Amino acid sequence: MVLVLGVIGAVLYRSLDWLQTPPAQLALSNEVPAAAATDTLPAPAAARPEQLKAIAAGDALFKGNCAQCHAVNDVVVGPALAGITKRRPLSWLVPWVKNSGKVVASGDEYAVKIFAQFQKQQMPSFQLSARQIEDIMAYIESEEGRATAVAGVVALRD
Ligand code: HEC
């Protein structure tokens, strides 16, 4: 019974997710005012072609560069990346992915802490553009929705 409620809850949550534009995705699309301003009707973020394109590009980039150490919803070699765009702004994420060692060396408090927490294992530097890194973040956000639905089931069961 509780499980059934949980599943219904998860499904409801998921459909809400598609209807609403999550704040983090809004933040991302704010970065492209030219394209956003021409949208007269507010389409759901996930249905917008440029958003789908960003997610698809980010999916491929994530699998090619990040997946050996990261998963969105699980700790692998590095931390689970779900919620990262809420924990850190793009202005931190872009330089971090390009060269995390430099961010740690700059004394950035968050970077020093996460580096220490993961046994001072340095992430490789990536020659990716800011746009490509934003696409990876869009992909991560698209995968977070699934995690939230599953977490909803677990929370209801507890
Ligand atoms: C060889 C393993 C490895 C690869 C490949 C890797 N990372 Fe990491 N990443 C780590 C580790 C380990 C940490 C924890 C911090 C540290 O030790 O520097 C981390 C931390 C992070 C963080 C901070 C997470 C948080 O919760 O604050 C982000 C964001 C991140 N990585 C993004 C990426 C992205 C995007 C890619 C692919 C372009 C990538 N990483 C590829 C190992 C890796």
* pLDDT tens digit sequence for 20-75: 544 445 445 444 444 445 555 655 555 688 999 999 999 999 999 999 999 999 99
Name the pLDDT band for 11 (thresholds 50, 70, 90).
Answer: very low
Q: Which domains does the chain have, with CATH numbers?
A: 22-30+47-143 (1.10.760.10)
Q: Whose CA is nearest to atom 41 of ligand 1?
A: 66
Q: What pLDDT is attached to residue 41?
A: 60
Question: What count of other Cβ atoms lies within 10 Å of the Cβ of residue 150?
Answer: 14
| Minimum-distance ligand 1 atom for the alpha carbon of 119 | 17
Q: Is the CB of 77 under 6 A from ligand 1?
A: yes
Could you tell me the distance, in angstroms and rounded to a whole number, from the CA of residue 35 to the centre of ligand 1?
A: 30
pLDDT of residue 73: 93
* Ligand 1 in reach of 70 Cβ (< 6 A): yes
Q: Is the C-beta atom of 66 inside 6 A of ligand 1?
A: yes
Could you tell me if the CB of 136 is within 6 A of ligand 1?
Answer: yes
Write out pLDDT tens, residues 66-122. Answer: 999 999 999 999 999 999 999 999 999 999 999 999 999 999 999 999 999 999 999
Whether 118 lines ligand 1, by a CB cut-off of 6 Å, is yes
Residue minimizing CA distance to atom 30 of ligand 1:
97
Q: Is the CB of 65 under 6 A from ligand 1?
A: yes
Instruction: Tell which atom from ligand 1 comes closest to the C-alpha of 101.
Output: 18
Q: Whose CA is nearest to atom 24 of ligand 1?
A: 79
CA distance 38 to 88: 28
